[in-house]
Chain A
């Protein structure tokens, strides 16, 4: 069955370190997204991609970057981790265009100390 996976599921890192969160989908979806979930904010869009070599900034993109070298993967990099980036991160994917249903991975809980 097609699925979307994230790794690691839990990560603890120190302030200032570079961290990369992996996202892999086997739906063959063109669109991929990264969100963060924080108490009191719901889910907020960080970056998204419509296909290979395409990346776009979302609502809360400062301090994050993504790259899309193939259809299946969209890794999220925190250039220099900050305590404000402690959060739960969700990756999602969807087909190109309508409908807009997005399918989410299980999440990565990141703690920056």
Chain B
């Protein structure tokens, strides 16, 4: 049973426009959420995170929004650049109460392939 869902396998956005990547989760014990970016043949790279006590976190062109009542988070990239083309993974951590993947193990979504069109 997938606890972190990224329902869009791919997303195509024009350069300079906003990219919005979505993620839903089902486990209410998750209390920390992260976004990772991954290029082919490389390991995932940490991008931005948000604690469940916040509803927004911003870092340069990247902003993550969290809606706890809807169990939904999104990553906004603005403006989108060609180097942003990659696979983006949403991940969640549940602290000591989570037994699915271990106390500090991350639960990942399947990823969204973002393609920035010139």
Contact = CB atoms under 8 A, between A and B. Distances in A.
Interface of A: 4, 31, 33, 35, 40-45, 48, 50, 56-59, 90, 92, 94, 98-107
Given A45-B105, A100-B49, A59 B43 contact: no
Interface residues of B, number: 25
Contacts of B107: 45
B44 to A, nearest CB: 5
B105 A48 contact: yes
Contact of A56 (B44, B93, B102): B102
A33 B95 CA distance: 15
Contact of B49 (A59, A99, A103): A99
A104 B104 contact: no
A111 to B, nearest CB: 15
Contact of B108 (A43, A48, A99): A43
A107 B44 CA distance: 9
Contacts of B49: 99-101
A94 B108 contact: no
Contact of B109 (A42, A102, A103): A42
A57 B100 CA distance: 10
